[in-house]
Each structure stands twice: as C-alpha cells, then as structure tokens.
Structure 1
Amino acid sequence: MPSETPADLLRRHPGAIIQPFKGVWPRIAEDAYVAPGAVVVGDVEIAAEASVWYGCVLRGDDHFIRVGPRSNIQDGTVIHVMLDAHPTIIGADVVVGHGVRMHGCTVEDGALVGIGAVVLDGAVIEGGAMLAAGAVLTPRKRIPAGQLWAGSPAKMMREVTAQEREFIAFDIRHYAGLARAHRDAAREVAAL
C-alpha cells in the first residue's frame, strides 16, 4: 500500500473515524471503501477493493487486524483482537454479514460469516466454509474447508453446496459494485 498522509487517508473516507493508536495509523488501500460512520483504529490493514460498511468498528489496539482483498465487512460488525495472543485475520473474498462479532480469530479465503454470528478467540473458519446466521463459534474451534456450521455452540451441519459457493462469489462482486457507488456518493456529499 502506498504511503500517504493521515490527512489524505481522512479525505478519502469522508465521515469515517480513522485514527491511530500508540502512533500506528490504519493502512487502507486506495481503492478500498470505509463508509461514513465506520470506526477504524490502530494496526488495521484493509486491502484492495475491500469494504467496511456503516457502523462497523475495527479496533486494532491490543493486536492487529487484516482484511483481505475484495472482502466485505457489512454494517454494524465489530472486530477486535485478543491481547498479545490472537490477531483477527480475514482473508480474500470473505463475506462478513451484518452485525457480526469477531474477536481474535481467522477467516480464510472465500468463507462466509452469517448475519449476527459470533466468532471467538483462536477460532478458525477455513477457506470456503460458512458459519450460519446467529451461530456462535466458540474459542479455538475450527470449521474445516467447505463445511457449513450452525447453532450455539456451532456444530457441523453439512457440506457447503455449489449454490452457496456461487452466492459467496456473487456477494463479493455485488458489494464491490456497491462500495464504488457509495464511495462516489460520500465524496459528492463531502464536496458540498
């Protein structure tokens, strides 16, 4: 990611709260989108074409947070870390639904975390896996690649279907287009 001044970073994301923690500023790719009202603090890296939506909080203070290319973090999600033990790492092409809570966990490429789900310390969602809406993935649990888990605590339900894999790919494309449109609208308002 190219270096830029904090003023440039703030100008690119009007209405978002982007601030350093202990001198470490978030690093946000030029074509990533952070919505107005989102909060991004400290050691957070948001890769190319990723999007962080309205009302999200990404707090990289006790450890780091990484959001991979084209991943979307939907409205009202809170992402934090576990002090000196577990960062939160989100791979490429990941869908994180509305109102998700993630704490010191890893979500690998092409996975989906359903609306309102909770993913706790040391948990891993492997590539192409899905955690259902409202599910709770307890500490240190691992969802193997290509499986759908649901419930509280989450348990394996079945394999992810071809239709569900297609939905994840569609959602990634859809949110990339939405991010471009919302970014343009936010900049238009900021220019008034």
Structure 2
Amino acid sequence: MQFEHLGVRPRIHSEAVIAPTAVISGDVTIGPDCQVLHGAVITAEGGPITLGENVIVMENALIRATVANSVHIGDHVLVGPMASVSGATIAEEVFLATGTRIFNGAKIGARSEVRINAVVHLRTVLPAETVVPIGWVAVGDPAQILSPDRHEEIWAAQRELDFPGYVFGLDRETPDLMVQLTERYGRGLARHANDTQIG
C-alpha cells in the first residue's frame, strides 16, 4: 500500500518490487532493483527517505524519517526482518541483521555489519567496516561497542546523547516528561489522518 502524506507521494523505480502488504508513506524514493517484502513499513514523518539501488528491506522491518532526521540508505544494503532504522544514514554494502535497532542521527559506514538484535544508538557514528556483535550496543562518536551487561557504561555515554532532547525537544528532567512527550508526538502522528491511499 502506498500513501500520500503531507502532500508528497512515494517515488518508486519501475524496477523495484514492493510486496502488496508493505506500507510506503510520504516522501520516499526507492531506487532500481530494490525489494521491499511483506509487512515492511517505510514512512516519511516530515523528512525524506531515500533507498539507493539493490536495497532489500525484509519482512516487518521499519524505516522512519523525522523532520529533524531524514533517512538515506546506500546501494546494496540489506535491512533484516524486524529491524528498525529511524532517522539514520546507512552507507553502501551494509548488513543490518534481524532485529537490529538504528536510532536517530546515527551514521553507519560502508561495509559495516550490525548483527542480530544489536543496537546503534542515537547520534552514534560507526566507521566503515565496523562490526557490532550479536546483541551488543554501539554508542557515541567515536563509537564505543559494548556488551549489554555493561549497562552503566552504556548509560553514561547515552545520557550525554540526550535522547528526549534530541528526538522530542524535551528536557529529561521535566516532571511530566511522558505526558508532554506522548501529547507532542501524538499530535505529529495525527497528521496521518489526512493521508490518501494511492496504491
């Protein structure tokens, strides 16, 4: 299914193959020989999404751009099943395995691998040919790659990246943070009420 969102329709190359149960919404450009499989969602929430050539987006993957963070995915990238890419730049020949999570402002260098259930956190920069092991967390610039049992070190680096401030424009110390966050984010998402299905 394809949707016009905020007055912009997806642009899909004639040689791309989009599964009938995939959802493509808004300012999305999909290049030649891309494959978008069943259940995948590619949604431009105010910022553009560009997929190069020969990108594979597997079942139930999510790719989301925001006003502040567009998405660019280079040529010959595989986005695995149930992976999530939000507002990030992915260079060419990158492998994002099943269940990976790539957060806003992240940059992943060419020929890198983010393995099963690994996380590349907010504003993290991975140089070319970096490997994030299964279930590990990459955080910061320069990136630290840490096992999940090193929570205090991950949190120390993550706190400086300021997720609520960077993504939602809210101070982490706000007493009613989740009230303000959900109301603000909900208003933005409500803009889908005016979407038009085009295919």
TM-score, L = length of structure 2: 0.68
Identity %: 28
Are the aligned partners of 1:120 and 1:139 in contact in 2 as well (CA < 8 Å)?
yes
User: Which residue is 1:38 aligned to?
Assistant: 22
1:47 paired with 2:31, answer yes
The aligned residue for residue 54 of structure 2 is 70
**Is the 2:96–2:113 Cα contact (8 Å) retained in structure 1?**
yes
Q: Pick one of 102, 114, 122 that aligns with 1:119.
A: 102
Which structure has the bigger radius of gyration?
2
RMSD across aligned positions (CA): 1.3
Q: Distance in 1 between matches of 2:118 and 2:109?
A: 16
Contact kept? 2:136, 2:145, Cα under 8 Å: no
For 1:156 and 1:114, the matched residues in 2 are separated by 16
Is 1:19 aligned with 2:10? no
The answer for the alignment partner of 2:195 in structure 1 is: none
Greater Cα offset, 145-154 or 45-54: 145-154
Question: Displacement, 1:143?
Answer: 1.3
Give the match's secondary structure for 1:140.
Answer: coil
> Residue 106 and residue 121 in structure 1: after superposition, are their counterparts in 2 closer, same or farther (change >3 A)?
same
Alignment TM-score, normalising by the size of structure 1: 0.70
Native 8 Å contact 1:147 1:156 kept in 2: no
Instruction: Give 1:145 shift.
Output: 0.5
Name the structure 1 match of 2:119: 136
Q: AA paired with 1:119?
A: I
Structure 1 match to 2:129: 146
SS of residue matched to 2:26: strand
Q: Distance in 1 between matches of 2:116 and 2:81?
A: 9
The AA in structure 2 aligned to 1:135 is A
Q: Is the 8 A contact 1:115 1:133 kept in 2?
A: yes
Whether the 8 Å contact between 1:143 and 1:149 is mirrored in structure 2 is no
Q: Distance in 1 between matches of 2:121 and 2:105?
A: 9
Deviation (angstroms), 1:22 = 2.1
Report whether the alignment pairs 1:87 with 2:83.
no
Distance (Å, rounded) in 1 between the aligned partners of 2:123 and 2:7 = 31
Q: Which runs of 5+ in 1 are unaligned?
A: 1-16, 158-192
Per-residue CA distance 1:113-151 (angstroms, 9 max, x = gap): 111000000001111011111011100111111121133
Whether the aligned pair in 1 keeps the contact of 2:44 and 2:66 (CA below 8 Å) is no
Residue type of the alignment partner of 2:4: P
Instruction: After superposition, give the CA deviation of every residue in 1:4-51 in whole Å (9 maximum; x if it has no partner).
Output: xxxxxxxxxxxxx10111221100000001101000000000000011
Aligned: 1:101 with 2:104: no
Number of aligned residues? 140
Distance 1:137 1:19 in 2: 29
Aligned-residue offset at 1:156: 4.1
8 Å Cα contact 1:43/1:60 also seen in 2: yes
Q: Distance in 2 between matches of 1:135 and 1:149?
A: 7
